[in-house]
Amino acid sequence: MTTINKLIESKRTRALLLISSYALILLAVRTGWGYYHTTRNQPNLVEGQVNLSNWDFLNKNVTLNGEWLFFPDQFIVEPNLTAADQHQTAIVVPGNWEGALQFRPHSDTTNYGYGTYYLKVQLPEQLTDRYYGFKFDRITSAAAIYVNGELLTIINQPAERPGQVSYREGAFNAFFSTNQDELELVVHVSNFDMPHQGGITKPVKFGYMEQIQNETVFINTLQIVVATIFLLHAVYVLIMIFLFRRNKTSLFINYTLLLIATALSVLIDDAVVINLPIPFQLETRILFFLLFTTFFLSVRFILIQIDYQKAVVHRLFHILYWGMNLLAFALPFRLLIWPTISFVILAFITVCCLYGLLFKAVKQNHPDALLLLFFLTSYASNVTWGTLIKFYIVDIPFYPLDFIFTLLFIVLLAIRTHLRTINLVKEQSTKLIEADKLKDQFLAHTSHELKNPLHALINIAEVLKTEQGSELSHTQTKDINLLLQIAKHMHQTLEDLLDLSTLREKRLQLNINPVNLHAVITTVVDMLKYKINDKQTTIHIEVAHDFPLINGDEHRITQIFFNLIENALKYTQQGNIYISATLLKQSYVQVSIRDTGIGISEEALGRIFIPYDQGDQQSNRNNGLGLGLAICKNLIELHGGQITVESEKNTGTIFTFSLPISDSPAVSQSTFNQQISDEQLSTGQSNANEADNQGVILLVDDDIVNLKVFLAMLSNQYIIHTATSAEQALELIKNRHLDLVITDVTMPIMTGFQLTEKIRLEYSLSELPILLLTSRDRLADIQTGFQAGANDYMTKPVDGIELKARIATLIYLKRSVEQRLQTEAAWLQAQIQPHFLFNTLNTIASLSAIDHNRMLTLLDYFTIYLRKSFHFKNTEALVALTEELELVKAYLYIEQQRFPDRITVNWQINQQENIVVPPLSIQTLVENALRHGILRRPEGGTIEITIDELTDHYCISIKDNGVGMTNAQVEQIFAANIEKDKPGIGLHNTNKRLKALFNTALVIESEPDHGTMISFNVPKTHTTDVTGTETD
């Protein structure tokens, strides 16, 4: 055997010696306790008589153990020892009366019956009355005590037949006074409850009343003290569990239940301290339950302490525990002896197994194995002696030391565990602090390193989704969308990590300016719209647009609201979110964000602002690192405010925080308009001729200073229109021809995101480009802007050179698209279908033989049609209405000659001078009405061309009574992705050119089998001079 094995073996041997010595000490102390409470030199009781005339009652009581007289099946108050009808026999007290009974109610229950015990006692001579007392430790199960024919006390009601309900009564006393030197003690006893024992089964003590009372109080006090110690310790553990809920482990709960069960067993056993007002048999069953419970909990306590992992053993003990309890309450009372015997055998086997496990744990250097061995030995000693007492093998008064030693070792185990934890915490605290610093540095560095590849990942996924979306399956599209969602969430997490690192290192600098609170909130709600749409949640903004300005960094204030509102949305699947603000007296504003979501538990509420803490784990799965609220708290405190939170589980949460009010007053919309209107008009028109070819720009911002800065930067190169609200901007867009809209994002009432969405309902990305300006450059903000329909995105403060470059690019894009549309229209007209040419030439050839004059006229119109179709002016933006009508008339004449009986044309033209239209616009509409309308009918139809002059525009309409169109066909014409070889491409092109030139669109009214009317408006601002040059 190696040296290590010898060392291990020696440890186990030393443990065995220690435990053996401790067991011997317990045995010696218990034996000494019994010897101390045993009265020596006891008098002999023979045939129911005892002589105590020389007994010293002042110093000790006497135990009346020995031969009593017993009268079976008789209740006699004054026995006549010589009467023939009073059968008597000697019986040993204490002891079972089984052999002395004659009456047998049940053949298998030999201890059921009744009878009378008799003892004659010779007392010392005395001249006056003296108070004496009897102490009965146990009489089974009903008794009446008589002295000299006088009834002293009744315990239950002795009866001659079963049926009387007995209540458990353990030790009891009976006191009396006498001046006689002789007394006759008569005890009536009946037992119809306990099948295996009956009669006076415990010793009877006799002495002066004071001595008897003192002994009774002593025993009762011991039991109360032991029970109180256990209960107080249980209360202490319960308080610790309540205060430190993270320690609410099965070990502590098991420990608490063990203490309570032990205390109750001490108080109830033998009914000395607590006499329950319940039937005797039920109380016995409850005591069985407490016995099984304390044993089960003790075993489980040891198994948990040594981390015993075999689930089979744990399950087996649970089965045995509940099985024993079931038998204790279900079996007939006379059969309870068998579960008792089974329990004794099970307890013996279990204790032996536990000793084996604990000695093995000692061998494996388990830190608590030795203390657990002492605990087990104390408990085993207590159970062993208790069993011997219950089976009447020994008789020892209540012994508290085994209970005290058991609790002592439990406390020592707890103290040792606590000290071990403290030492571990001390050792690790320094390492944790250093590791925390290294973690922050690592996370900040890693965040920087991951941002570039993450951007590349997002860009690749976006390109794949955009360019190959039509080739991807539904599953692949969902996977790419999920990939983008995860990547953007990772990007947000990296931004939070960088912010937290900056805040902790106190490197964050705030750019303090007056901030419009309503505008910030509205902007954040727009940014989170994609999350709101996926839920049945409504956000209520209860902050007026003219609410006083606050002092803060607009970018960081937006970040605070974004994190808090996003957090509310995250945990409110269905309900409402309310955002309100009130003024405080101390120049602060108090903001509240209240939701009706799932709420936060009290445990998580105290940790909610701790970085990386995710609160309720069950409700917070896959929801980030727990940084958002910690960042909010730091940012609010950096602004000089405070944040608090109130929450109730399943009711909702309220975040309340304060921010300083700005000294600058909130400027109303009318004030903005008045301040800027004069300068706006003069600046916008001052360089109109010079800037005519460079572009027309609309600036939208609620900050007058920003508008003045942009006017100064751009007015020399562009025609500038300004608006201080989104509503005013929409009005200008309707009435002005614009090349670009530049708008701020954060505006009250309607944000830049909302303005962009409204513009996109009428204009595509190429028809009216939009450049968004904002103070935030986070991915979520940029993504929201592009999803709303922006062409470009810049972060304030902007660089003038960069701004001008982006403006030039966007205007060039718009005008390039317009030029492409004009070229496309000319190209479409130039693509004259061959069958049209062949059919026209055939018609000319046919007329040459029939009607020479008609042939010449048709030839002239055909020549006009060809010349107009291929004219270079078709690539220009506008042509005179007269030139467009020449082409239309030539086309209609040719078709009428081809189909003389199927085409009728009505002209309703009141005005055609000084009107310009996009080239090939009316021609396209007429050709569509002819080919796809009336010629689809065998009988043909009528085309009506109308030009009406209205207040500020001319209305041009082409109406036919052809086959008409369905709503789906009409929608297809305006579809953005119509293919060039599909019907309606000409109308689609014309519609886009009208929107780009006149801010108007085609209006189509059609009904199948009833015809179609297509119309558009030409503003009167677009006219021609006598030479045909278009002016604005």
Neighbouring C-beta atoms of residue 329, cutoff 10 Å: 13
- Residue 994 and residue 889 in one domain: yes
Fill in the DSSP letter of residue 549: P
Lowest mean pLDDT among 165-169, 185-189, 313-317, 481-485: 165-169
Q: Which residue has the higher pLDDT, 854 or 147?
A: 147
Q: Looking at the predicted structure, is the pLDDT value of residue 827 above 80? A: no
DSSP E strands: which ranges in 24-180?
A: 49-51, 62-63, 66-72, 89-93, 113-122, 130-136, 139-140, 142-147, 150-155, 172-178
The token duo for 260 is 């309570």
- Residue 385 and residue 269 in one domain: yes
End-of-domain residue from the set 823, 858, 892: 823
The tens digit of pLDDT for each residue in 634-659 reads 889 888 899 999 888 888 899 999 99
The tens digit of pLDDT for each residue in 885-929 reads 888 888 888 888 878 888 888 888 876 677 888 887 788 888 888
Q: Looking at the predicted structure, is the pLDDT value of residue 676 above 80? A: no
Amino acid identity of 999?
A: N
**200 occurs within a structural domain:** yes
**129 occurs within a structural domain:** yes
Tell me the CATH number at 86.
2.60.120.260
Q: Output the pLDDT for position 122.
A: 92
Mean residue pLDDT across the chain: 78
End-of-domain residue from the set 618, 642, 660: 660
Q: Which residue has the higher pLDDT, 554 or 110?
A: 554
**C-alpha to C-alpha distances, 445 to 286, 440, 441, 451, 457, nearest whole angstrom:** 66, 9, 6, 10, 19
- Residue 264 and residue 330 in one domain: yes
pLDDT category of residue 68 using cuts at 50, 70 and 90:
very high
3-state secondary structure of 565: helix
- Residue 721 and residue 641 in one domain: no
Tell me the CATH number at 905.
3.30.565.10
The tens digit of pLDDT for each residue in 234-258 reads 777 777 666 665 554 555 566 566 6
- Residue 258 and residue 375 in one domain: yes
Contact indicator for 280, 167 with CB cutoff of 8 Å: yes
3-state secondary structure of 387: helix
**427 occurs within a structural domain:** no
Whole-prediction pTM value?
Answer: 0.43
CB-facing half-sphere around the CA of 193: CA atoms within 13 A: 25
Fill in the DSSP letter of residue 1008: T
Lowest mean pLDDT among 15-29, 453-467, 668-682: 668-682
Q: Which residue range is the domain that position 170 belongs to? A: 49-216
Q: Output the pLDDT for position 675.
A: 47
CB-facing half-sphere around the CA of 376: CA atoms within 13 A: 29
Q: Output the pLDDT for position 133.
A: 93
- Residue 229 and residue 191 in one domain: no
Q: Output the pLDDT for position 121.
A: 93
The tens digit of pLDDT for each residue in 603-632 reads 788 788 887 776 654 455 445 667 788 888
Q: Output the pLDDT for position 490.
A: 74
Q: Output the pLDDT for position 830.
A: 45
**446 occurs within a structural domain:** no
**140 occurs within a structural domain:** yes
Cα–Cα nearest to 915, from 960, 870, 959, 885: 885
The helix (run of H) or strand (run of E) holding residue 499 is helix 474-504
Fill in the DSSP letter of residue 386: H
- C-alpha angle 158-159-165 in degrees, rounded to nearest 5: 80
Neighbouring C-beta atoms of residue 203, cutoff 10 Å: 17
**43 occurs within a structural domain:** no
The residue assigned the tokens 């305006």 is: 974
The helix (run of H) or strand (run of E) holding residue 205 is strand 204-208
Contact indicator for 213, 133 with CB cutoff of 8 Å: yes
Phi, psi of 109 (to 5 degrees): -125, 85
End-of-domain residue from the set 422, 445, 479: 422
Distance, in Å, from the CA atom of 95 to the CA atom of 67, rounded to the nearest integer, reads 10
Q: Output the pLDDT for position 113.
A: 87
Give the residue-averaged pLDDT of 472-492: 75
Give the residue-averaged pLDDT of 838-850: 67
Q: Looking at the predicted structure, is the pLDDT value of residue 266 above 80? A: no
Cα–Cα nearest to 225, from 214, 233, 236: 233
- Residue 619 and residue 728 in one domain: no
Amino acid identity of 544?
A: A
Q: Output the pLDDT for position 980.
A: 47
- Residue 577 and residue 686 in one domain: no
- Residue 300 and residue 197 in one domain: no
Say if strands 182-191 and 113-122 run parallel, antiparallel, or are unpaired: antiparallel
Tell me the CATH number at 791.
3.40.50.2300
- Residue 797 and residue 898 in one domain: no
- Residue 805 and residue 938 in one domain: no
Tell me the CATH number at 331.
1.20.1070
**455 occurs within a structural domain:** no
Top mean pLDDT of 59-73, 767-781, 905-919 is at 59-73
Q: Long-range contacts of range 593-596, CB-CB < 8 Å, 24 or more positions apart?
A: 593/561, 593/564, 593/565, 593/568, 593/654, 593/655, 593/656, 594/652, 594/653, 594/654, 594/655, 595/568, 595/571, 595/652, 595/653, 595/654, 596/572, 596/651, 596/652
Measured in residues, the chain has a length of 1032
**171 occurs within a structural domain:** yes
- Residue 61 and residue 206 in one domain: yes
Number of structural domains in the chain: 5
